Amino acid sequence: MAEPTTWETFTLERPEPGIAVVTLNRPERMNSMTNTMFVELEKAALQLDREDDLRVVILTGAGKAFCGGFDLDDAEGLSSLTPIGMLDQQEMAARALSAIRGIRVPVIAAVNGAAAGGGLSLSLAADIRIGSPTARFNAAFVRIGLSAGDLGASWHLTRLIGPARAAEFAYTGRFIEAVEAESLGLLNAVVPAESLLDEALAMARLICANSPAGVQLSKRALHANMEVSSYAAALELENRGQALLTRGEDMPEALAAFKDKRSPNFTGR
């Protein structure tokens, strides 16, 4: 099992086999995003995606915020960039979030506080969000002259909470507090702050008990089906995934375990 590692902008811990916990670690700046954080997050996500024994990633923040979005203290420094330089900056940030979203195993965001602007986008890059009562979301972009079409926020929000609610959220820049976020589906659950990580770990353990390939191909199907244009295309993709899984070792093992009335021993092969 890989050892915990400390990066400049977050910590990466391994509380138990199959589970990695990434904790953004700039609490004094509300875990706001810097270029270093983008570069490190992308690198860590790509490394995690290659770990065969990884089953779940939990993403959370140190201190009172999940992530305050782009570090506005860094923003000034961007004004000297050319338009292409600015595009490079934006695309670098987008690559980091795309790498997190693209990790083959489920990513659970344990939203411990404010997820503002790019912090909202980061929480949306996770497959599942569990929040503390202080979890709060806002598309801060319009408040500082940017668009909510940022780091995937417009893509996720319209699919997650519906176009009209996404519009209200994006155009007003208002906060959505935890209870409302849960009612909208922005949060899967709201749990006491002191048990947020434990709840995320408990969900991670449930996922770890299942067929790794089954879970990973489920994620692939769910993600792809947010993109495919037809039911037939979705079925085609699902059929391929199932056909692959029936050729593996986990399904026969699951069937044998069911007959033997025992827990299956999944290997992911």
Ligand X SMILES: CCCCCCCCCCCCC/C=C/C(=O)SCCNC(=O)CCNC(=O)[C@H](O)C(C)(C)COP(=O)(O)OP(=O)(O)OC[C@H]1O[C@@H](n2cnc3c(N)ncnc32)[C@H](O)[C@@H]1OP(=O)(O)O
Binding site for ligand X (CB under 6 A): 29-30, 32, 64-65, 68-73, 75, 78, 89-90, 93, 114, 116-118, 140-141, 143-146, 150-151
The span from the CA of 189 to the CA of 165, in Å, is 19
* Full 3-state SS string of 191-236: CCHHHHHHHHHHHHHHHHCCCHHHHHHHHHHHHHCCCCCCHHHHHH
Locate 85 and state its tokens.
């330089």
As to burial, measured by CB atoms within 10 angstroms (0-12 exposed, 13-18 middle, 19+ buried), residue 51 is: middle
Rounded to a whole number of angstroms, the minimum distance from the CB of residue 265 to ligand X is 44
The nearer residue to ligand X, 144 or 235, going by C-beta atoms, is 144
The nearer residue to ligand X, 89 or 210, going by C-beta atoms, is 89
The nearer residue to ligand X, 102 or 268, going by C-beta atoms, is 102
The span from the CA of 24 to the CA of 44, in Å, is 12
* Listed residue (16, 95, 8) closest to 54, CA to CA: 16
Rounded to a whole number of angstroms, the minimum distance from the CB of residue 151 to ligand X is 5
The nearer residue to ligand X, 40 or 71, going by C-beta atoms, is 71
Rounded to a whole number of angstroms, the minimum distance from the CB of residue 141 to ligand X is 5
Rounded to a whole number of angstroms, the minimum distance from the CB of residue 89 to ligand X is 4
CA 64, distance to chain mean position in Å, is 19
Rounded to a whole number of angstroms, the minimum distance from the CB of residue 113 to ligand X is 7
Rounded to a whole number of angstroms, the minimum distance from the CB of residue 28 to ligand X is 7
The nearer residue to ligand X, 115 or 204, going by C-beta atoms, is 115
Buried b (16+ CB within 10 A) or exposed e, 186-219: bbbebbeeeebbebbbebbeebbeebbbbbbbbb
Rounded to a whole number of angstroms, the minimum distance from the CB of residue 91 to ligand X is 9
Locate 132 and state its tokens.
């503390």
The nearer residue to ligand X, 149 or 163, going by C-beta atoms, is 149
The nearer residue to ligand X, 135 or 203, going by C-beta atoms, is 135
Angle, helices 212-224/231-246, rounded to nearest 10 degrees: 170
